C-alpha cells in the first residue's frame, strides 16, 4: 500500500494542483490531499470551503484505482504523515525558483522523519506559471482565470466577492 500526502494551502486549488494529483495517481494507491490549517495567515477561502471545493473537483480527475481523500492538518507535516501511515510526501515543482525552498523543506522533513520520502513532480508546462497567489491577484484585479482554475473555483471566488 503506497500512501502519499499532498500537502498545501490550496487557497484556492488550481489546475496545476489537479495535474499533480492526476500524475500522482499513477504512482500511489492513495493520496491524501492535506490542507494546512494556518490560523495566523489571512486566507481567501476558509478551510471548510477549500475542503468542499477540493472534494468536488477531484471527481473530475483521472484517478485509475487510486483513492483520493481530502483532509486538513495542523503542526508538523511529517507528524501528520506518520499518523496517517504515509510513505511519501508529494510536492509539485514548477521552476528552479521553487526548488530551493522545496529542497530545504524536503531535507528538513527527512531529518525529522527519515522514513518518509519526498517526491517532486512536475506539472504540465501550461501550468508552470500558475500559483494560488497569482490566481488570487489576477482575480482581484478583474482578470480572467479560464483554464487556470476549475470552473467551480472561479464561481466560488465570484460568490465570495459578491457576498462581502
Ligand atoms: O502550498 P504551500 O502553502 O506552499 O504548502 C506549504 C506546506 C503546507 C507544505 C508547508 O508549509 C508545511 O509543510 N507546513 C507544515 C508545518 C511544517 O511541517 N513545517 C516544517 C516544514 S520543513
Whether residue 128 contacts residue 94, with contact meaning beta carbons closer than 8 Å, is answered with yes
Atom 1 (ligand 1) nearest CA = 8
**pTM of the model as a whole:** 0.97
Cα of 149 from ligand 1 centre, angstroms: 22
pLDDT of amino acid 34:
98
pLDDT of amino acid 164:
72
Cell numbers that stand for 106 in this block = 524536503
Kindly state if the Cβ of 77 falls inside 6 Å of ligand 1. yes
pLDDT of amino acid 105:
98
The CA distance from 133 to 22, in Å, is 22
Strand partners, 118: 89
Whole-number average pLDDT of the chain: 96
Instruction: Kindly give the parts of the chain with pLDDT less than 50.
Output: none
pLDDT of amino acid 162:
84
CA dihedral (104, 99, 147, 63) positive or negative: negative
Cell numbers that stand for 111 in this block = 531529518
pLDDT of amino acid 58:
98
Task: Classify residue 125 as exposed, middle or buried by CB count within 10 Å of its CB (0-12, 13-18, 19+).
Answer: exposed
Q: Which residues of 21-46 are buried (b: 16+ CB within 10 A; e: fewer)?
A: bbbbbeebebbbbbbbeeeeeebbbe
How far are the Cα atoms of 20, 94, 99 from residue 121, in angstroms, in the given order?
7, 9, 11
Amino acid at each position: 500500500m503506497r500512501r502519499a500526502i499532498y500537502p498545501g494551502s490550496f487557497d484556492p486549488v488550481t489546475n496545476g494542483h489537479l495535474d499533480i494529483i492526476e500524475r500522482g495517481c499513477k504512482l500511489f494507491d492513495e493520496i491524501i490531499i492535506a490542507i494546512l490549517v494556518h490560523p495566523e495567515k489571512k486566507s481567501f477561502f476558509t478551510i471548510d470551503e477549500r475542503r468542499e471545493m477540493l472534494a468536488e473537483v477531484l471527481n473530475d480527475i483521472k484517478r485509475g484505482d487510486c483513492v483520493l481523500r481530502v483532509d486538513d492538518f495542523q503542526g508538523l507535516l511529517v507528524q501528520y504523515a506518520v499518523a496517517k501511515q504515509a510513505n511519501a510526501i508529494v510536492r509539485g515543482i514548477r521552476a528552479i525558483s521553487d526548488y530551493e525552498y522545496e529542497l530545504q523543506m524536503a531535507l528538513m522533513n527527512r531529518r525529522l522523519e527519515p522514513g518518509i520520502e519526498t517526491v517532486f513532480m512536475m506539472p504540465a508546462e501550461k501550468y508552470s506559471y500558475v500559483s494560488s497567489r497569482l490566481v488570487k491577484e489576477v482575480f482581484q484585479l478583474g482578470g480572467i482565470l479560464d483554464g487556470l482554475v476549475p470552473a467551480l473555483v472561479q464561481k466560488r471566488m465570484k460568490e465570495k466577492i459578491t457576498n462581502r
